[in-house]
Structure 1
Amino acid sequence: MASFDDLVRAAHELRSRMPRAVVGISGFGGAGKSTLARRLVEAVPGAVRLRGDDFIVPSRAGERSPDWAMVDRVRLRAEVLEPFRAGSPGGFRRYDWATSELLPSEPLPDAGLLVVDAVGILHPDLDGLIDLGVWIDVDLDTATARGKSRDRAAGDDHDRLWDGVWVPNDRDFAARFRPRERADLRYDESA
C-alpha cells in the first residue's frame, strides 16, 4: 500500500524522466479520487488536474453499464491524453452537468504532469496513456456511504442513482476489468 508521500515521490520521479506525464487516479465512487487529485496537484509543481466528471457521455449519464460506458474514454483519449503526451496543442470539451451538454472546446492545460481522476479509467481503452495508475483502496460499501453523504451535504439526493446505477456499475467494472490489480500503486489514506 502506498502513502501520500509515496505517491508524491512517484509523481516527481515520473517528472524527472518524462517531459509530460499522466497520473490516473481511480477508485469506486465516493472513494476520494477528487480529494487525492487536488492534494497531489498542490504537492507537485507544474501539475494540473482534469476531472473525470468532465468526460461524461451525455446520453449515458444515468445509465447502467458493466464497463462504466458513461465515462467517455474515447474522447478523453483523443482530446486530452494523446495530444497532451505528444506535446501537441489541442482542445477538449467538458461535460456541463447543469445542461447535460458538452461545452465549447477549451485549450489543453500547459503542464508537465496531468492528473486525471475518474471511475473507469484503469481500463484497456487507455492502456499506454496513463504513466502512473493509482487505485484508492477503499471498499465499495465505505466508498458508497461517503459518496452518498457528500452528495446529501451538497444538497443532492442521488441515492437512487447510487443504488440503481453507480454501485452496480462499480461492482461490475471491478469484476470485469480488475482496476485494483491494473494500478501501479494502491493508495491507502491511512498509510
Structure 2
Amino acid sequence: MAAEVPGVEPERQLAGGVSRLDVAEIAALTGQSGRQGRPTLVGVEGFGGAGKTVFARRLGQLLGSFHLVHLDDFIVPGVVSNEDKTDFDRGQLARRVLEPARRGELREYQTLTDSAGGSGTWVSVPQVRHLIVEGVSAYHPELRHYYHHRIWVDAPMTVARERARQRDLRRGIYDRDLWDAWERSEISYKAKYLPHLRCDIVYDNTVESANLRCVDE
C-alpha cells in the first residue's frame, strides 16, 4: 500500500507513492491499522549494516505493541549468499510466521536454526498489534503480498559496510572475504529486485539518527 501522509512536503514524496519519513512519522502511519490478535505486518529491508534491526526495534517501541522477527533466524546453513538471497528460507518464514500471522493465529514459531547452527528454537509470540519482520529480502516478491507496509532503510553501501565492520570488530568476528562476497550479493539483489522502489516508505539512515541510538543493538 502506498504511504499517503498528509502534510508531508513534496520533496519527501517520491515516485510511485513512496514517502521519505522519519521514525515518528512511520510509527504514526503504521500505528493506524494494527489491532490486537490480527497484527499489521511490517517488512523492513536494507543493506547489511544499514541499521534495520535498530530501526525496527525503535519503531516497535514507538508503536508500543509489537513482536520483531529476524530473517537471520531463517538462514539456510551452508548456502552462499547470492543475488537471489536463497541463503534465506523465505518459504519457511511464510509458512511458520507470515501466513499464521495474517490469519490471526500466530502464537509461536520455530526458527530454522539456532545461533550454533543446530535445530531451531521455539519463539513465543504475544498478542500484539504489529509484527515487524526485518532482514535482507524480507519483502522479496515471494513475500511482498503478506505485508501491510514495506520499509526500505536507506544507507549507501559504503556507510553500511563500515557500520557492519565496526559492529563485527566489536564482536571479534569480522571476516573481510565474507563481507566482500556479501557486499556483491547485496548490490546484485538490490539491482535485480529493487527493494528500494518496491516499498511504500523510505527511512533515510545515512546519518544514524539520534532517535535510534538510544536503542540497544
Normalising by structure 1, we get a TM-score of 0.90
> Do the aligned partners of residues 32 and 89 (structure 1) sit closer, same or farther apart at CA in structure 2, a change above 3 Å counting?
closer
Aligned to 2:185: 169
Q: Distance in 2 between matches of 1:59 and 1:109?
A: 32
Asked if 1:46 is matched to 2:62, the reply is no
Partner of 1:97: 115
Distance in structure 2 (CA, Å) of the matches to 1:137 and 1:155 = 26
Rounded Cα–Cα distance in structure 2 between residues aligned with 1:58 and 1:104:
15
Q: Conserved in 1, the CA contact under 8 Å of 2:40 and 2:129? A: yes
After superposition, the C-alpha distances for 1:18-55 in whole angstroms (9 at most, x for unaligned) are: 94211111100000000001111111121111112111
1:89 is displaced (CA, Å) by 4.3
Please say which of residues 118-127 and 11-20 is displaced more in the overlay. 11-20
Name the CA distance, whole Å, in 1 between partners of 2:174 and 2:123. 31
Q: 2:174 aligns with which of 153, 157, 173?
A: 157
Distance in 2 (alpha carbons) for counterparts of 1:65 and 1:116: 20
Q: Is the 8 A contact 2:152 2:199 kept in 1?
A: yes
Q: Closer, same or farther in 2 for the Cα pair 1:172/1:11, shift >3 Å?
A: same
The 1-side partners of 2:153 and 2:98 are apart by: 21
How many residues get paired?
Answer: 187
Letter in 2 for 1:66: E
Alpha-carbon distance in 2 for matches of 1:120, 1:158: 22
Q: Structure 2: give runs of 5+ residues left out of the alignment.
A: 1-19, 210-217
Distance in 1 separating the partners of 2:68 and 2:36? 20
Determine helix, strand or coil for the equivalent of 1:70: coil
User: 1:73 aligned to 2:85?
Assistant: no
Structure 2 residue aligned with 1:29? 48
118-127 vs 15-24, which deviates more? 15-24
Task: Give unpaired runs (5+ residues) of structure 1.
Answer: none
Name the structure with the higher helix share.
1
Distance in 1, matches of 2:59 and 2:114, equals 25
Change (3 A) 1:104 1:4: closer
Is the partner of 2:142 in helix, strand or coil? helix
1:141 matched to 2:158? yes
Structure number, greater radius of gyration: 2
Amino acid at match of 2:26: L
**SS of residue in 1 equivalent to 2:64:** coil
> What stretches of structure 1 move > 4 A for 4+ residues in a row?
none
Equivalent residue, structure 1, for 2:203: 187
Indicate the RMSD between aligned Cα atoms, in angstroms: 2.0
Query: Structure 2 length normalisation: TM-score?
Result: 0.80
